[in-house]
Amino acid sequence: MSGETTTLVLWDIDGTLLDGHGEGKRAFYATLERLFPGKTFSDIPMAGRTDFGIWHELAREAGASDLPAFSVFGELYAKVLEEFLAANPPWLLAGAGELLRAVDAHPGFHNGLVTGNFFQGTRVKLQALGVWDLFALDGTPVGGYGDHVPDKGPLAREALEAWAARFPGREAKAVVVGDTPEDVRCAKVAGIGCLGVATGDYSMQALSDCGAEAVVPDLSDTASLIELLERIAA
């Protein structure tokens, strides 16, 4: 495969691919309440942030001098999330399934991730949506995950580094697809483009104003989105 260039389509998950009806957030708080019984936590915005960053902000509110490691929270959160999503399954947003399959079928493209979710949470969510196999590359998707940094800034760069480590000599271009200014920013940190999707908390104008190379209202027009992704990644 050496010499070929692959284009990684690096997907944000929440608000871009899925509508979780708030179950991800409810599972997050339910996990905190199991780890810190009797404590209450403020309701904070989660869009565009990492699980690691949200955990640190909220766990501090519990007032414990020795916070458990994020991995302790994560192990329990993955189980709680799986229960919550089984009881109230998430939906793929309009066109997302078709576009993921079109990217998977495209000879020059590969589905990857830049998500604030930590790895196990990512797996639970994508399995609940039935699209995990469209990312799995020998069982492990290429991506940047939110288990070690407070915000998404470095995650697209890390996804490209992960690709280079796994496939030395196989060049990759990349494009981020996301619904928040943080997705645009992490694309810029990596020196790549971003397709903004106004399916979450931010308007097309807001995503355009922070520098997205292109912005669309949703993912429903598969053929033109494939062309747009080719153009942005060029």
Where on the chain is the footprint of Mg ion (CB under 5 A)? 12, 14-15, 179
Q: How many CB atoms lie within 10 A of CB 209?
A: 14
Q: Is 132 helix (H, G, I), strand (E, B) or coil?
A: helix
Q: Give 36 or 126: the residue with its C-beta nearer to Mg ion.
A: 126
Shortest CB 66 distance to Mg ion, Å = 32
Shortest CB 196 distance to Mg ion, Å = 11
Shortest CB 219 distance to Mg ion, Å = 13
* Of 10, 100, 5, 121, the residue nearest 55 (C-alpha): 121
Q: Give 6 or 200: the residue with its C-beta nearer to Mg ion.
A: 200
Residue nearest to Mg ion (CB): 15
196 membership: H or E segment, kind and range: strand 193-197
Q: Give 15 or 146: the residue with its C-beta nearer to Mg ion.
A: 15
- Outline where DSSP puts E strands in 21-137: 91-92, 109-114
Shortest CB 77 distance to Mg ion, Å = 18
Q: Give 23 or 179: the residue with its C-beta nearer to Mg ion.
A: 179
Shortest CB 15 distance to Mg ion, Å = 4
Question: Do the Cβ atoms of 136 and 165 come closer than 8 Å?
Answer: no
Q: Give 32 or 176: the residue with its C-beta nearer to Mg ion.
A: 176
Shortest CB 168 distance to Mg ion, Å = 31
The type of residue at 200 is: G
Q: How many whole angstroms separate alpha carbon 142 and alpha carbon 178?
A: 16
> What are the backbone angles phi and psi of residue 108, rounded to the nearest 5°?
-100, 0
Question: Do the Cβ atoms of 218 and 51 come closer than 8 Å?
Answer: no
Q: How many whole angstroms separate alpha carbon 158 and alpha carbon 197?
A: 22
**Sequence-ordered list of residues with C-beta below 8 angstroms from that of 178, at least 6 positions apart, any chain:** 11, 12, 16, 114, 184, 186, 187, 194, 195, 196, 197
Q: Give 47 or 67: the residue with its C-beta nearer to Mg ion.
A: 47
